[in-house]
Amino acid sequence: MFGVLWAVLGVGLFGLIYVSGKMTGGAISACQIIWFRYFGALLTMLIWLMLRRNDLRLIASKQVGLHAVRALAGGGGGMAAIYAASNMEVASATSIGLLDGLFTILLGVFLLKEAFTPTQWLSALVCLFGAMFVVAGGDSVSLDVNNWFPALIALCGAAMVAIESIMIKTLARSEPAVSVLLYVSAFGTLIFLVPALWLWQPLGSLQTLALLSLGPIAIAGQLCNIKAFRLSDAALIGPIRYSWIIWGTAFGWIFFNEVPSLTTYLGSALILAGGAKLAFSRARR
């Protein structure tokens, strides 16, 4: 149960990062936003380590390559989501991106050998149906010929986010949280520096500070995810990520004055019902 609550909070914190692209009005590239997110997180971790005076030898990782793959998958998934939403209907991009939950379930079941009962599969499908119900209640989710490439990018992004979820699951069980956060921030800063510089847009001081603040927000969200994956199976956490629809509705209303429709409320209720069923039926192994 507590793993689910941590997962829901983590989704909300990362939701702030995903809407940051819309807040800029599309003036800043996804590469630049993602780089600031990792660089801000790296600065936060370094300051925290200096204040705590941690011995870096104690947090050295023996799975450096796994951290690099996780940073590439997570950052790539975030960039794909921002790109897709900027180049096709937001409703269509969102509906494709929601497939990351199902990808996480499949990876958790078939790669990590996590057990999942028919009732829990049904609950997961209720979560997915609720998410699709919300999306379909807005703009059309049909794809025309001009949208096939961003749609493919969105699909690849969903797969990369699912891969990152499995990486977090693996790393969270074997390494301290500080190592997981430090390594992914460092690798993300290095990996996405070149594409960020390639598409760099000049920023004012306030814009720079705002983008750097995505780092501490991401750190808090990752801590929630680490706690969630330590307490629950990846196959359970995957469907709970559909709670982004609820967070997204709230952010849309608060930041963009978007009034939710009746279908949004009905779909959100389905997501909550499916997630609650999973939370109470899935005991920690």
User: Looking at the 3D structure of the chain, how many domains does it have?
Assistant: 1
What is the pLDDT, as a whole number, of residue 250? 76
pLDDT in tens, 239-277: 666 677 677 777 777 777 767 667 767 776 777 677 667
What is the pLDDT, as a whole number, of residue 285? 44
Q: Which residue has the higher pLDDT, 241 or 66?
A: 66
- At 43, the pLDDT band (50, 70, 90 cuts) reads very high
Q: Which residue has the higher pLDDT, 224 or 145?
A: 224
Instruction: Provide the mean pLDDT of the chain.
Output: 76
pLDDT in tens, 175-209: 777 787 888 899 999 999 999 999 898 888 888 99
User: Which structural domain, as residue segments, surrounds residue 246?
Assistant: 2-281
pTM value surpassing 0.85? no
pLDDT in tens, 268-278: 677 767 766 76
**Which 3-state string (H, E, C) describes the chain?**
CHHHHHHHHHHHHHHHHHCHHHHCCCCCCHHHHHHHHHHHHHHHHHHHHHHHCCCHHHHCCCCHHHHHHHHHHHHHHHHHHHHHHHHCCHHHHHHHHCHHHHHHHHHHHHCCCCCCCHHHHHHHHHHHHHHHHHHHCCCCCCCCHHHHHHHHHHHHHHHHHHHHHHHHHHHHHHCCHHHHHHHHHHHHHHHCHHHHHHCCCCCCHHHHHHHHCHHHHHHHHHHHHHHHHHHCCHHHHHHHHHHHHHHHHHHHHHHHCCCCCHHHHHHHHHHHHHHHHHHHHCCCC
Average pLDDT over residues 52-56: 69
